Structure 1
């Protein structure tokens, strides 16, 4: 008989209960690398032992991908190894500039699909990328604060996860340097996510959503990018 998931754990998220780190690896799309024609992103999500526990696939149409670029709205489906959809990430079309503080980025996390369990909302700031991690009732749980300059320059880039008072660092989302050739010719990125082991499993899934939002906002362009300052 299958073992039922623990209380308050959406089906399929059992893998996250005893995990405090995740690795998100975007797969290289050969057609995109050769032609520059934007294709749907695909990812593998792994545990600290680098064992694949989930797959993630972008579900978007051709026109949206290629005309809206990294600002595009998207739906990302996270699936088990057997192909079951367990998490849906939805990002609406919003501005990505500090000139429009009333229309900042956000993402909704659903688990199971159709049931919101949390949100990540960008906070306006002229210099630093800042985000609020919220539960299903839109109550703030954690803060995410990035560096003043976000640039692929042969080093990892850390977005710190902090307590609500911003005094304690409890984790981080790190864009990992993938090597000069890969960074120059593709937008295939690797991310590491660290969070407290005892963090609510739903919030761990929301942290995964935050990782994808940060990827699209700052690292989706192909090639080495000029530095991005704050939320420009």
Structure 2
């Protein structure tokens, strides 16, 4: 699957407004990829995360689990991450307990290990057990992002409200992006479901996460989804990694329910 270049997301700038680029901390620009700290003597992740440096879009494709389709039994999810040339650059695997998958369904606590094409672990995502209902504003969803594993680069946190809203934060807990979603996350019109990405002001749209429509069979009988991510222009691989983590959280929060 390739993105249609005609569907470019415009960057919305009003006269005398601050551009999304100016709202992003300068150390996150594309040319400022700093060296990763030495984690357990392994700094290979620094080179392998560079696969994101020249990529303005990625596709995150969940693999079909036939056991889920046939038996309705929730299994651990597996994904491929593809670049603009439709090449697999990363693979991702969920780690979770069987009992939690049965009892907690899409709310289950998970970790996601993301590896490069050589099998080297370059990212680690962790979501603890939490609620996402309006009646529990003190126990909202959150996902931490490490790149490489052991080196925290930020987190994604759900904000309380009637419409979906996620705050993407850097390692100093500063909001760098705000992701807003529609009140209805179902593909009611057989089309994509979009989650626009805004700069930290919450007004300047600069990117997009889209849940792709896969047809009646997939939407009805399986939760194997495809997501497209259009990154804000000019950001470096660290921030792209944070937005990839945000996409996984969107999947588990709003679309991991087909067999529940």
Distance in 1 between residues matched to 2:35 and 2:232, nearest whole Å: 18
Matched, 1:151 2:186: yes
CA deviation vs aligned residue, 1:157-195 (integer Å, no higher than 9, x gap): 000100122221110110000111111111100000111
Shift of 1:120: 0.5
Question: 2:138: which partner in 1?
Answer: 102
Shift of 1:210: 0.4
Distance in 2 between residues matched to 1:91 and 1:176, nearest whole Å: 23
Matched, 1:206 2:242: yes
Matched, 1:142 2:169: no
SS of aligned partner of 1:206: helix
Question: 1:83: which partner in 2?
Answer: 119
Question: 1:230: which partner in 2?
Answer: none
Q: Counterparts of 1:46-61 in structure 2 under 5 Å?
A: 46-61=82-97
Matched, 1:163 2:203: no
Question: 1:124: which partner in 2?
Answer: 160
Larger Rg: 2
Alignment RMSD: 1.5
TM-score scaled by structure 2?
A: 0.81
Unaligned 5+ runs, structure 2: 1-31, 37-44
Distance in 1 between residues matched to 2:33 and 2:128, nearest whole Å: 32
Question: 1:38: which partner in 2?
Answer: 74
SS of aligned partner of 2:201: coil
Matched, 1:7 2:43: no
- Runs of 4+ with >6 A deviation: none
TM-score scaled by structure 1?
A: 0.90
Distance in 2 between residues matched to 1:173 and 1:42, nearest whole Å: 19
CA deviation vs aligned residue, 1:113-165 (integer Å, no higher than 9, x gap): 1111010011111x210111111111111111111221132110000100122
In the superposition, relative to structure 1, how do residues 140 and 8 fare at CA in structure 2: closer, same or farther (>3 Å)? Answer: farther
CA deviation vs aligned residue, 1:80-102 (integer Å, no higher than 9, x gap): 11211110000010111011111
SS of aligned partner of 1:202: helix
* 8 A Cα contact 1:18 1:197, kept in partner: no
* 8 A Cα contact 1:95 1:103, kept in partner: yes
* 8 A Cα contact 1:78 1:85, kept in partner: yes
* 8 A Cα contact 1:39 1:65, kept in partner: yes
Question: 1:229: which partner in 2?
Answer: none
* 8 A Cα contact 1:19 1:197, kept in partner: no
Shift of 1:222: 1.5
Question: 1:228: which partner in 2?
Answer: none
Unaligned 5+ runs, structure 1: 226-232
Shift of 1:6: 5.1
Shift of 1:7: 2.9
Matched, 1:183 2:219: yes
Instruction: Name the structure with the higher helix share.
Output: 2
Instruction: Name the structure with the higher strand share.
Output: 1
Distance in 2 between residues matched to 1:82 and 1:219, nearest whole Å: 30
Distance in 1 between residues matched to 2:166 and 2:64, nearest whole Å: 28
